[in-house]
Each structure stands twice: as structure tokens, then as C-alpha cells.
Amino acid sequence: MPTDKNKVYKVLAKGRKSCHGGELTWEVGKWYEVVGELIACENGLHLCKPEHLLDWLHEEIWEAEYEGEVIDHGDKLVVRKARITRQCENWNERTARLFVCDCAQDVAHLNTDPRVQECIDTARRYANGQATERELDAAWDAAWDAAWDAARDAARDAAWDAARDAAWDAARKKQTVRLLKYLSGELP
């Protein structure tokens, strides 16, 4: 999966607010710094590499920079000093919804119930302003029922676990590449 090894991101709630801990509202370009020992999920500013964006998705994604001490904690970087520099404006409610539809479509073949495909199609139409919220809710309810039916069947089939695990890594890589294309504007 080709990524810019130096690019890092800060994922935030609407209005540049911290969403995975802390109460900071970030200002663009302003450096923030912590004191004390860097400890993941306890003390430090948390950023992520492109390949870990899927773990942290939220309403806003920002390109970021850091200086000084850094701990690579696997799915996140814990840094002493950081700032946000540029919002990924291509990440918005519409592209987030389309991204989820793309990811769901990747695994739709695992459940051949037509309600699942109808939900994906309705969600796509909704993202493009072509379906109502009522239609979306009805499609969601139908797909949820289909998923429960499939889960009940899968619980009896031990092969499901092996197939799911084998497909997970490939699907995650594909979804990360797709997410970066959404952020860059290559996808709608």
C-alpha cells in the first residue's frame, strides 16, 4: 500500500474538537505541547499515519505536523508537540457516507440477501440527495434484519471465522487506499 511515510493526520470532531480523549479545540497552525512522560492514551498528542486512519475516523480529518519526541504505538503516534496544518476538505458527510457504501459493497457478497444490496444502494442515493431519510431508515432496518439472519446462520459455520480473518487484511488495505483517494479528491 503506497503512502507518504511522512504524512500524519489528526482526526477531530466537528469544529476541530478532540474526539478520542481530551477537550482541546485545535487552532490551525498553532503548536500544542505536552509536558511529562509520553504515555499512549494518557499523556501526549495523538496523531496517526495514513494506514491507521480507518481506526480513528470521525467528522474532520486534518493533516498535521509534529516535532520532538515521538512514540510509535502501532495504530497511533504519541508526540510531544504537534499542530494541524490543513483540513482534508474532501472528507465530509457525503464522502464519508459514500466511503462506507464502498466498504459495505466490498463484503456484500458475503450476504446474498437482497436487502443488504438495497440498503447500500439507498445509502448511496441518500448521499447524492436522491433518497429521503425515511427511505434510508427503512433500508437500514431491512439490512439489519438481514445481517442478523446471516449472523445466526454463520454462528453454525466455523468456516466463517477463517474466511473473515483471511479477508480482513486485504479488505483493510483496499479500504485505506480508497480512503486516501477520497481525501485527495480522486473520488467524489
pLDDT of residue 172: 85
Residue 152 lies in a domain: yes
My answer on whether 107 and 178 are in the same domain is: yes
Residue by residue, DSSP assigns 95-125 as HHHHHHHHHHHHHGGG---HHHHHHHHHHHH
Q: Which domain holds residue 73?
A: 8-87
Is pLDDT of 14 > 50?
Answer: yes
My answer on whether 83 and 98 are in the same domain is: no
124: cell is 448511496
Helix (H) or strand (E) holding 177: helix 159-184
State pTM to two decimals.
0.80
Residue 115 lies in a domain: yes
My answer on whether 99 and 175 are in the same domain is: yes
Question: pLDDT for 117-153, tens place per residue?
Answer: 998 999 999 999 999 999 999 988 888 887 777 666 6
Residue 3 lies in a domain: no
Q: Out of 54, 87, 120, pick the residue that ends a domain.
A: 87
My answer on whether 98 and 157 are in the same domain is: yes
Q: Out of 55, 87, 119, pick the residue that ends a domain.
A: 87
Residue 61 lies in a domain: yes
